[in-house]
Amino acid sequence: MTRHPTLAALAADLEAGRTTARKLVEDCLARIDDPAGEGARAFIHVDRDAALQAADAMDRLRAAKAEPSPFAGIPVSIKDLFDIKGQVTRAGSRALDDNPPAESDAPAVARLRRAGFVVIGRSNMTEFAYSGIGINPHYGTPKAAYARDIGYVPGGSSSGAAVSVADGMAHAGLGTDTGGSCRIPAAFNGIVGYKPSQSRVPRDGAVPLSFSLDSIGPLARSVACCAALDAILADQPVMPVSPRPLKGMRIAVPTTLALDELDATVTAAFDRALKTLASHGAIVEQIEVPEFNDVAPLSTKGGLTAAESYAWHRYLIVAQGDVYDPRVRERILRGETQSAADYIDVVTARKSLIERATARLAPYDAVAMPTTAIAAPTIAELADDKAFTKANLLALRNCTLINMIDGCAISLPCHQDGEAPVGLMLAGVNGADREIFEVAAGIEEVIRG
């Protein structure tokens, strides 16, 4: 897989005059248009004319020394569930085709624009964000960046976002993460994905999956890229990330659930990563986290996600249910069978879970586990519903643990060149976002050699 430039490298090139915003946009459009590439499946809509106009505007502002940020003019993709002024928000579905265009940008989109990023298009996604695999029967499924001749799933739900970044069709992607939807596609495509503490970024103007669990985060090519984007999305100053020294760093590796059913590819990459960290002086401690055993019982009837998604979809699914991906419709309808008492029980139990897990994990610099229990399966093998269900659960499991305890987490590539991509997830408790970026920056320097 080609290694494309980071945001910092692009900003330096723009500042030095080695490139222009228009050139960056034209290059991304050329990659999107490449008939041998995945542009037709990675994007639901390409905002070609507006992107070129915005790029020209940023070039004029830079020439006048008035650019809004060092990143002004860099093209980004926007997951299809975000409102973009003047466009219909479809959330990867056909059920919303008749909705009116959005009257304004979602706050997350507006903040990226305010920093001068150029919106190049709406990226494909799992319909209504309801899967960690990334298959979309309506708009096609983009192949993951690895071994494209075979055709591996891209991960979901921010599938097009990850593929757009991995292929250089955009230089960052705006995604969401309810149970891994930024981290899973990042892991499957060999890039970096971040799930912030939920309250950092407003979720207005984004089609919800679960308002208790949805987070808005970036997909990009480095820890520093994600840290800069996260700051912009959180409406905070962009500050350099100081890599935390590995010597003496305390890293907890949960033996409860998170290491179960790992495939051989993930096991090898994860074990190698832990040995590398230990060799650089990190203190890697295997610990039991019994709170993780409480997560699955909270989802026996579909949990928060099914209940809250059904509340949003209940009228639309009556009118347009035959348009939905059957796999998505089935999962949403699990919420119909939950009673108010069932839902309240889950909300109450989750509050206790968060308190107990936070107390257990707070003393560590980070919690480390594989982002997913499996490497990306092929698109073809998941045509079978049983295979799809099993792969989806194994893709989502570890990431969901962090959403359920209201934490923050980043996925870093930890495979070697030529190997199937594998993600190393580093997680922290709620509010530990800055610390996780510092830890991840230190680990990023050594993890892939």
Q: Shortest CA distance to 446 belongs to which of 283, 284, 282?
A: 282
Q: Which of 123, 131, 157, 159 is catalytic?
A: 157
Q: Which of 79, 123, 309, 411 is catalytic?
A: 79
Residue 157 bears catalytic tag: yes
Residue 299 bears catalytic tag: no
Taking the C-alpha atoms of residue 61 and residue 276, their distance in angstroms, rounded to an integer, is: 45
Amino acid identity of residue 171, one-letter, is H
Taking the C-alpha atoms of residue 304 and residue 299, their distance in angstroms, rounded to an integer, is: 7
Amino acid identity of residue 72, one-letter, is A
Q: Which of 123, 181, 215, 309 is catalytic?
A: 181
- Distances in Å between the Cα of 301 and the Cα atoms of 306, 307, 335, 336 are 8, 9, 7, 10
Residue 85 bears catalytic tag: no
Q: Shortest CA distance to 273 belongs to which of 419, 378, 429?
A: 419
Residues with active-site annotation: 79, 157, 181
